[in-house]
Structure 1
Amino acid sequence: MTCEIRAICVGLPKPFNGAEPSAIAKAPVAGRVKIRAFGIEGDMVADTKHHGGADMAVHHYPGDHYADWNDWLGGHELLAGPAAFGENLMSLGLVETQVHVGDRFRLGTAILEISQGRQPCWKIEHRFQRKGMVARILETGRCGWYYRVIEEGEAAAGDRLERIETVNPEWSVARVFAALYDKANPPSPADLETLANMNRLSEVWRGKAAAKL
């Protein structure tokens, strides 16, 4: 499976909520950009406790969800361009039900591996100035996902993201997200044990699964 990366976006921490900084506001990069083990060159995180690190080096959010968000919000200027949700990669044709924890992809000369979904936080609602968005992400599973960088390289908008390996075909990002965050449908102990021991799932999310056991 492949899809086209429509935009590669980066941003630096800026004042966001009073004195608290955030790098959720990102902008597209023109030309080729280096993808390092820590993330895309020129991109930084402000809250290093909850964001960044090897397991959250690159954030991908499907542009496929933008139209639905636009309808739900009654239109919003942020949805006119990429990086509305602070993502590094925006694409069309690939969503959470189609990708799995541990999937590896080639993008340009880099190789990326899905490590976890994105846990939504208050910053999304503050950015859009609209309550209820976090609850809707939890309800719909339209969370996006993170990659760790297996091989550093370079890429540009317009490059194809090509899946080259799948190791957990039964565990889509959507299913893992639901198992850990959907309170209406609690997972079985067997499923939680599987997640707690899933090698390519991020350490943080393995810990969440173990804590639920």
Structure 2
Amino acid sequence: MRLLSISAGKVAPLFGNHHPDYKSVASAIRKKVVSDPVNLVPVEITMLGIKGDEQADLSVHGGIEKAIYVYPAEHYTFWNELLTRETKRPVCLEYGAIGENFTIEGLLESEVFVGDRLQIGTLEFAVVKLREPCFKFNAAVGYKGASKAMLQSGYSGWYLRVIKTGVLTAGAEITLIPGARETSIAQQNLRLLNNRNQKDMWE
């Protein structure tokens, strides 16, 4: 298990026609890689996440309980194939394109439980909950069905709380420290999917 890249972003206007109430909305979902195996840049991690990273709406992203958004690199093939098919143009997303801060390999939603801890390098994090996608994700990838596809696939990623701060560099090994293991991220995703289906809450 390994940290492939670290990404951060600034709040900026996000344009798209993927929500009836918004033509443009502020968002920092467009993350850019700041450390990867080619450019091993040390990145400072605080209790609020990556230093310099921003969030437009702290009610749904960021803060102490959602300081870091993690996404498995294994899912990128799914998104590239889906978006290429649906948008009728070749798509090859770069890491950070899902809005994640940490792109990792070797650990999936079915293997991660709320309350587990991840030791990455010398830093430590606690698994908090899954990422709930919204219309901003649709706009960011240019496909109005992206949020629904994320939940239906189970490829949601998850949020971390920072337990031990410090400096991280891409390429760091990840160690999973199991918690109570009562609810996995995959189980959370299934519950949210069922709830949205029952209430017809798709945006």
Contact 2:13-2:27 within 8 A present in 1 as well: yes
Contact 1:108-1:153 within 8 A present in 2 as well: no
Contact 2:80-2:91 within 8 A present in 1 as well: no
Within-5 A mapping of 1:157-196? 157-163=170-176, 165-183=177-195
Q: Which residue of 2 aligns with 1:21?
A: 26
* Counterpart Cα distance in 2 of 1:69 and 1:48: 26
Residue 49 in structure 1 maps to residue 59 in structure 2: yes
The alpha carbon displacement at 1:49 in A equals 2.3
Query: TM-score, normalization: structure 2?
Result: 0.83
TM-aligned CA distance change 1:12 to 1:177, over 3 Å: same
Residue 9 in structure 1 maps to residue 12 in structure 2: no
* Counterpart Cα distance in 2 of 1:130 and 1:181: 19
Q: Which residue of 2 aligns with 1:58?
A: 68
Within-5 A mapping of 1:28-107? 28-30=33-35, 31-74=41-84, 76-77=90-91, 79=93, 81-107=94-120
SS class of match (1:56):
coil
Q: Which residue of 2 aligns with 1:209?
A: none
Residue 128 in structure 1 maps to residue 141 in structure 2: yes
Task: Give the letter aligned to residue 26 of structure 1.
Answer: K
Task: Give the letter aligned to residue 97 of structure 2.
Answer: A
The alpha carbon displacement at 1:109 in A equals 2.1
SS class of match (2:111):
coil
Contact 1:139-1:182 within 8 A present in 2 as well: no
* Counterpart Cα distance in 2 of 1:102 and 1:173: 10
TM-aligned CA distance change 1:22 to 1:93, over 3 Å: same
* Counterpart Cα distance in 2 of 1:82 and 1:185: 30
Task: Give the letter aligned to residue 174 of structure 1.
Answer: A
Q: Which residue of 1 aligns with 2:201?
A: none
Unaligned regions of 5+ residues in structure 2, if any? 16-22, 36-40, 199-203
The alpha carbon displacement at 1:76 in A equals 4.9
Q: Which residue of 1 aligns with 2:162?
A: 149
TM-aligned CA distance change 1:184 to 1:26, over 3 Å: closer
Percent of aligned positions that are identical: 35
SS class of match (1:97):
helix
SS class of match (2:151):
helix
Unaligned regions of 5+ residues in structure 1, if any? 187-213
The alpha carbon displacement at 1:9 in A equals 0.5
Select the structure that is richer in helix: 1
